[in-house]
Structure 1
Amino acid sequence: MRKLSIYLTTFFISILLFLTITGKIQEYIPLFVTIVVLAILILSYMYFEKSAMGTKEIAVIATLSAFAGVGRAIFAFAPGVQPTTFIVAISGFVFGPYEGFLVGSTAAFISNIFLGQGPWSPWQMFGWGIVGVISGIIGKARANISVEKFSVICFLYGFLFDWIMNLWHVLGYIRPLTLKSIISAYALGLTFDVLHAISNFLFSMIFFERLVRVLRRFKRRLEITYIR
């Protein structure tokens, strides 16, 4: 797995340098970035397949992923408002960065079974996976955090996730790629970004303390062995 990662990294860097030298980077950068996102997802699940993770860990990840995915489907009537980001964030915070990534990426895939799969799916999987990773890093650095601080972090996650999705839109559909066109595309989605951020904040303020206690209880009782 490590050798494969090195080979892929070398390959992507070589392609990027080639596109830069030949002056075709703007033409092919959308495809290049999409392939990188897909490669990250594939490598993550390959690592999961070859890891020593047991049935207990898999059960927890599957349950949290389903919970987050169905939560998004239930709130589909309210654009930008859904508990998925908060659930992914608190999952990563309690269980760790890798588990957070798996919960986030799997939740996106599960929710799109109900809402529709498409070229946006890998980007959603990547976006929520990143939320899980960052929360996992925060959880390892500071296990005890106030609900107010975590809620502010979740507020920022609303913008982080939506801006990743805006990047997919810009790379896939905005031509020509100029600073003005990129700013305009991001500005058009600002209302939904704010709604997403506010809903994350509210979900965290209401449910953080209860849910973190429940998840930590599961963590202790199941004696989960984490992947390093």
Structure 2
Amino acid sequence: MDLMVLGTWIIFFVLIIGIILAFFRIFEKSKPSVEHLVLVAILVAIAVMGTLPTAAIPGLQAASFIIIMTGIVFGKETGFITGVLTPLVMSLFLGLGYWTVLQMIAWGLMGLTAGILSSRLEKNRYARAIFGFGWGFFYGWITNISMLPFLSSISTASVVGVYAASFPFDLVHAVTNTVLLFLFYGLFERIFKRAKQRFINPPKGKNTPCTG
């Protein structure tokens, strides 16, 4: 890899990290409550623990289901933050590398778009299935960029070869998203909405009783 290509990749990753940090800054300026931050930490932990047991099976990403659910129920900001933080925490168990940045942007965008389209996704199970299936491939297409520096030469044929090789794993990811959204959407929607009502949007006029 010559210096010009290396410089291009460095600039690319710096820009991605800058965008992620900017979004974190926007989230910070919204002044989330302590309860909201704790809830995000719990959602990230659920996403990580849902994926670690199947980490040895390429493409089987249960974390995507949790991130999509987070975006739909809690909104685009929480969906993005949960998506960005999930691979960071997961890297503590599976290893940290430059590919982690691409996982952050892929899962972050997944949660963000789920939040943006939440009104449609909440009402239509087939829209959710199409969304989950599509993001199984979009996630793979984004993270596949991490393989390009290892190509002896970047050409149309070599890039197509990388994406063709990942197709079976992306398909597993897409089908997993679709099946989980069909089978468990209702259950997780109820659980997440209770958490949202309890920690983010508590009923007005009801104060938590103090003791001591």
Identify the TM-score tier after normalising by the shorter chain. 0.7 to 0.9
Residues 36 and 200, structure 2, Cα contact 8 Å, conserved in 1: no
| Corresponding position of 2:198 | 221
Task: Decide whether aligned partners of structure 1 residues 183 and 143 sit closer, same or farther in structure 2, where only a CA change above 3 A counts.
Answer: closer
The CA deviation at 1:25 is: 7.2
Corresponding position: 1:80 with 2:59: yes
Given residue 163 of structure 1, which amino acid in structure 2 is its aligned partner? W
The CA deviation at 1:143 is: 6.2
C-alpha distance in 1, partners of 2:172/2:88?
A: 22
1:167 to 142, 145, 153: 145
| Corresponding position of 2:182 | 205
| Corresponding position of 2:21 | 42
| Corresponding position of 1:132 | 111
1:176 to 120, 136, 153: 153
C-alpha distance in 2, partners of 1:111/1:134?
A: 22
Q: Secondary structure in 2 aligned to 1:142? A: helix
Q: Secondary structure in 1 aligned to 2:117? A: helix
Q: Tell me how large the CA RMSD over aligned residues is.
A: 2.0
Corresponding position: 1:106 with 2:85: yes
| Corresponding position of 2:205 | none
Stretches (4+) displaced over 6 A: none
The CA deviation at 1:43 is: 2.0
The runs of 5 or more residues in structure 1 that have no matched partner are 1-23
| Corresponding position of 1:20 | none
| Corresponding position of 2:129 | 151
C-alpha distance in 2, partners of 1:118/1:221?
A: 37
What is the aligned length?
200
C-alpha distance in 1, partners of 2:122/2:68?
A: 15
Q: Secondary structure in 1 aligned to 2:184? A: helix
C-alpha distance in 1, partners of 2:112/2:8?
A: 25
TM-score, normalised to structure 1, is: 0.81
Given residue 72 of structure 1, which amino acid in structure 2 is its aligned partner? T
Given residue 45 of structure 1, which amino acid in structure 2 is its aligned partner? F
2:44 to 36, 56, 65: 65
Query: Alignment identity in percent?
Result: 28
Corresponding position: 1:191 with 2:180: no
The runs of 5 or more residues in structure 2 that have no matched partner are 203-212
Superimposed CA distance per residue, residues 74-116 of structure 1 (whole angstroms, 9 cap, x where no aligned partner) = 1112211121011101101111111101101111111111111
C-alpha distance in 1, partners of 2:154/2:56?
A: 32
